[in-house]
């Protein structure tokens, strides 16, 4: 029954995957030590470790080549709950942009009332001897800019308010 | 010398103190309020707080550091790199206070601190220099005349510059005026000195530097080269020794030139003479760094010489215990600078706490770091977490060891340059040794790392899914069995 069709959605480190039954069968793994496994995929040999997993076993953190991959497995029920809006929300709504670190505002790239899109540059904050672009993580409209160029800001200070 | 104060923080403070400790000398750490729990503070025999986190109020406070040194009966100060290490005024103040400055003399530091003064100083020694003028220039029409003589592209450089600031490449005469004005204003605002000069822009350059060591008796030796061409934002990120392009003859020639540069300013202690090497293996003197370099471990790994120990001995007034011919060159060493920077986002600093931090260990692996698991990366200082260096019998072995060490190096909580290292050490141009300072610009895109991460993410996903499915399968049969067993009992 399980894996017969493309029913599982797997989210790994922000990427979303789904696998066919054949693909799942083709993966070979062997336990080589406590929580350490040797994987063979298309004859390539890779070591993977299970760092942690929750009670359901559907949230697993896997380590490959020194990097951790948080994995969430979603079965049909999980996906249905997601659709009905009970799961983790995917629609993003942000009310303000805060300074991620103390620094000096060098330049402001937006104006009051401006419509901005996800990924747009909002301002440049100088910290750690470097210029950092602060971008917006969702589509929004600028309500009010609370800082000006040349101003020093503290971590967590609200830089820009959004509608 | 009985007690040495290390006027620095992080990995370099810790690395210097290890040598101090080994030599049976007491160590004094200085720290800012942000660094109270740092390993360099915990390692030292004594520690003093300099003040609030910003460097201007702590690690750059020369007078406070000297006052504490006097109070604690310190007889030597090691400045590390960065902060006050190339500050001639500080070096002089330290000596005036009756304390040994473990580094070069203030005069040599002052000369080499100015690119123009340095050129003037080495002029009479016949050291090859990039064609250009060796005087500050303000007049645009004169600049145009000189540029026409040496040929475009040219490079406008700030005399007081460093780290790529105040530097402008000019491709054609029409752009000269504007670029010159911008370079002058950038130099003024960054270094308080607007003087610029013009050099021919060497295309396809490699950055190769020579380590020198000089005692106070006029004995000067070199400890071969370090290849530092892999840079991002004009800052080194991968270094190795030896360079894959130097022949023994060229190595000797460059070594001799470097020794001459050091002698021209009566240099003492460790120093580094930087050269540009073009695609025809012509080399040109660039500048001298009057400090212990960040990348000194690769030299230590191939020569077996502890450069900090030598610095301390020289400061104590000892003669060098070896001559040029005695210096061994064993195998190959590579270093990767592990920065809290995101290679997927233009190498911008990545702020955060080291949620997991596990170092690689093994023969021929050296990690110089100043952090522990759970520590935040302070935003006030350079975002370097560690230097990962490996040593092998040859270049291939050193590279292979490096790749394994990167995989064993676990850092969670901040993005780092580790995946960028994997990209470099897998790249054909690096493996064949055919690369220059444009390596990153030419070959690197974040997509390369992203694709690999996606590949690993997919592997993690399918493994996690199959593992979970098999666990489910194991649970169900056990349940079935137990029910039938119960049923049997009931009968």
The tens digit of pLDDT for each residue in B120-133 reads 999 889 899 988 88
For B422, the token pair is 């994997």
User: Does residue B475 have a pLDDT over 80?
Assistant: no
B474 close contact with A: CB closer than 8 A:
no
Q: Identify the helix (H) or strand (E) that includes residue A17.
A: strand A15-17
pLDDT band at B79 (very low <50, low <70, confident <90, very high): very high
Q: Which residues of chain A have pLDDT under 50?
A: 1-3, 88-91
Interstrand relation of B384-392 and B332-339 (parallel, antiparallel or unpaired): antiparallel
Taking Cα atoms as reference points, which of B301, A13, B300 lies closest to residue B309? B300
Task: Search chain B and give the residue with CA nearest A132.
Answer: B348
Q: Quick one: pLDDT at residue B195? A: 84
For B305, the token pair is 């010489």
What does the alpha-carbon distance between residue A29 and residue A48 come to, in Å, rounded to a whole number? 9
What does the alpha-carbon distance between residue B386 and residue B82 come to, in Å, rounded to a whole number? 15
What does the alpha-carbon distance between residue A62 and residue A37 come to, in Å, rounded to a whole number? 10
What does the alpha-carbon distance between residue A134 and residue A52 come to, in Å, rounded to a whole number? 33
User: Does residue B251 have a pLDDT over 70?
Assistant: yes
Over the stretch A21-44, which tens digit does the pLDDT of each residue have?
999 999 999 999 999 999 999 999
Task: Search chain A and give the residue with CA nearest B465.
Answer: A73
pLDDT band at B81 (very low <50, low <70, confident <90, very high): very high
Q: Quick one: pLDDT at residue B203? A: 83
Contacts of A63 in chain B (CB under 8 A): 410
Nearest to B461 among A17, A68, A129 (CB): A17
Least confident of B149-163, B350-364, B460-474: B149-163
User: How far is the CA of B144 from the CAs of B48, B131, B134, B193, in angstroms?
Assistant: 54, 15, 15, 22
Task: Search chain A and give the residue with CA nearest B359.
Answer: A66
Percent above pLDDT 70 for chain B: 96
Taking Cα atoms as reference points, which of B150, B137, B163, B182 lies closest to residue B232? B163
DSSP output for B80-143? -SSTTTT-HHHHHHHHHTT-EESSS-HHHHHHHHSHHHHHHHHGGGT--B-SB-SS-B--HHHH
Contacts of A45 in chain B (CB under 8 A): none
User: Does residue B189 have a pLDDT over 80?
Assistant: no
Non-local CB neighbours of B379 within 8 Å, separated by 6+ positions:
A101, A102, A103, A127, A128, B349, B351
For B293, the token pair is 């370099």
Taking Cα atoms as reference points, which of B41, B16, B7 lies closest to residue B300? B16
Nearest to B460 among A69, A103, A132 (CB): A69
Nearest to B472 among A2, A60, A127 (CB): A2
Look at A130 and B408 and tell me if their CB atoms are within 8 Å.
Answer: no
Look at B457 and A130 and tell me if their CB atoms are within 8 Å.
Answer: no
Non-local CB neighbours of B406 within 8 Å, separated by 6+ positions:
A66, B336, B360, B388, B418, B421, B422, B425
User: Does residue B480 have a pLDDT over 70?
Assistant: no
CB B411 within 8 A of CB B357: yes
Beta strand residue intervals within B311-406, DSSP E: 332-339, 341-342, 348-349, 356-358, 365-369, 384-392
Look at B383 and A128 and tell me if their CB atoms are within 8 Å.
Answer: yes
Bridge partners, A44 (sequence order): A41
pLDDT band at B478 (very low <50, low <70, confident <90, very high): very low
The per-residue pLDDT of chain B, averaged, comes to 92
Task: Return the residue matching tokens 């202690």.
Answer: B269
Nearest to B460 among A58, A64, A100 (CB): A64
Non-local CB neighbours of B133 within 8 Å, separated by 6+ positions:
B146, B197, B198
What count of residues does chain A have? 163
Q: What is the CA radius of gyration of chain A?
A: 22
CB B83 within 8 A of CB B55: yes
Q: Quick one: pLDDT at residue A93? A: 67
Look at A39 and B472 and tell me if their CB atoms are within 8 Å.
Answer: no
Over the stretch B416-431, which tens digit does the pLDDT of each residue have?
999 999 999 999 999 9
Q: Is B73 left (phi over 0), alpha (psi -120 to 50) or beta?
A: left
pLDDT band at B185 (very low <50, low <70, confident <90, very high): confident
Q: Quick one: pLDDT at residue A5? A: 53
Over the stretch B35-46, which tens digit does the pLDDT of each residue have?
999 999 999 999
Task: Return the residue matching tokens 């007078």.
Answer: B63
What does the alpha-carbon distance between residue B154 and residue B167 come to, in Å, rounded to a whole number? 11
Contacts of B467 in chain A (CB under 8 A): 29, 37, 50, 60
CB B52 within 8 A of CB B62: no
What does the alpha-carbon distance between residue B73 and residue B80 come to, in Å, rounded to a whole number? 20
Q: Quick one: pLDDT at residue B471? A: 87
Give the residue numbers of B annotated as catalytic, written as ranges.
Answer: 291
């Amino acid at each position: 029954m399980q894996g017969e069709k493309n029913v599982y959605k797997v989210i790994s480190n922000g990427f979303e995957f789904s696998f066919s039954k054949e693909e799942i069968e083709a993966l070979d793994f062997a336990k080589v030590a406590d929580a350490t496994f040797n994987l063979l995929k298309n004859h390539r040999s890779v070591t993977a470790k299970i760092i942690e997993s929750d009670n359901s076993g559907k949230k697993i953190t896997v380590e490959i080549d020194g990097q951790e991959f948080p994995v969430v497995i979603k079965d049909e029920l999980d996906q249905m709950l997601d659709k009905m809006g009970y799961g983790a929300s995917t629609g993003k709504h942000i009310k303000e942009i805060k300074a991620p670190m103390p620094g000096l505002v060098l330049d402001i790239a937006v104006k009051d009332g401006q419509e901005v899109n996800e990924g747009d540059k909002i301002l440049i904050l100088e910290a750690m001897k470097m210029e950092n672009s602060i971008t917006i993580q969702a589509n929004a409209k600028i309500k009010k800019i609370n800082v000006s160029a040349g101003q020093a800001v503290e971590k967590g200070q609200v830089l820009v308010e959004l509608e | 010398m009985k007690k040495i104060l290390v006027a620095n923080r992080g990995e370099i403070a810790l690395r210097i103190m290890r040598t101090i400790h080994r030599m049976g000398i007491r160590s004094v750490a200085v720290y800012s309020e942000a660094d109270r729990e740092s390993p360099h503070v915990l390692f030292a025999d004594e520690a003093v707080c300099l003040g609030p986190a910003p460097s201007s109020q702590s690690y750059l406070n020369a007078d406070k550091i000297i006052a504490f040194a006097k109070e604690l009966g310190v007889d030597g100060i090691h400045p590390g790199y960065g902060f006050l290490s190339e500050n001639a005024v500080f070096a002089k103040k330290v000596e005036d206070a009756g304390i040994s400055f473990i580094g070069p003399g203030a005069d040599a530091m002052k000369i080499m601190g100015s690119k123009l003064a340095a050129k003037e100083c080495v002029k009479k020694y016949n050291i090859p220099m990039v064609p250009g003028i060796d005087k500050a220039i303000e007049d645009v029409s004169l600049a145009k005349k000189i540029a026409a003589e040496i040929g475009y592209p040219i490079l406008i450089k700030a005399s007081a510059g460093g780290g790529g600031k105040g530097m402008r490449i000019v491709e054609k005469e029409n752009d000269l005026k504007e670029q010159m004005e911008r370079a002058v204003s950038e130099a003024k605002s960054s270094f308080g000195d607007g003087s610029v000069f013009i050099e021919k822009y060497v295309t396809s350059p490699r950055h190769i530097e020579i380590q020198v060591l000089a005692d106070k008796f006029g004995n000067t030796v070199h400890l071969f080269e370090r290849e530092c061409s892999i840079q991002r934002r004009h800052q080194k990120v991968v270094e190795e020794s030896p360079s894959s392009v130097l022949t023994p003859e060229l190595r000797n020639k460059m070594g001799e030139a470097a020794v001459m540069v050091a002698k021209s300013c009566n240099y003492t202690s460790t120093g580094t003479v930087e050269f540009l090497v073009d695609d025809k293996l012509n080399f040109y003197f660039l500048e001298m760094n009057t400090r212990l370099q960040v990348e000194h471990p690769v030299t230590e790994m191939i020569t077996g010489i502890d450069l900090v120990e030598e610095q301390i001995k020289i400061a104590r007034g000892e003669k060098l215990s070896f001559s040029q011919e005695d210096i061994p060159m064993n195998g190959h060493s590579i270093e990767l600078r592990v920065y809290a920077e995101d290679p997927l986002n233009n190498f911008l600093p990545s702020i955060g706490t080291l949620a997991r931090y596990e170092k690689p260990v093994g023969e021929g692996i050296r990690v110089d770091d100043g952090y522990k698991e759970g520590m935040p990366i302070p935003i006030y200082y350079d975002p370097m977490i560690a230097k990962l260096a490996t040593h092998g019998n040859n270049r291939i072995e050193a590279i292979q060891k490096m790749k394994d060490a990167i995989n064993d190096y676990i850092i969670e909580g901040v993005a780092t340059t580790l995946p960028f290292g994997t990209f470099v050490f897998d790249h054909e141009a690096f493996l064949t040794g055919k690369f220059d300072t444009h390596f990153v610009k030419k070959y690197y895109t974040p997509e390369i790392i992203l694709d690999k991460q996606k590949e690993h993410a997919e592997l993690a996903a399918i493994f996690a899914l199959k593992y979970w499915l098999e666990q489910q399968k194991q649970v169900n049969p056990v349940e079935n069995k137990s029910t039938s067993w119960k049923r049997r009992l009931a009968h």
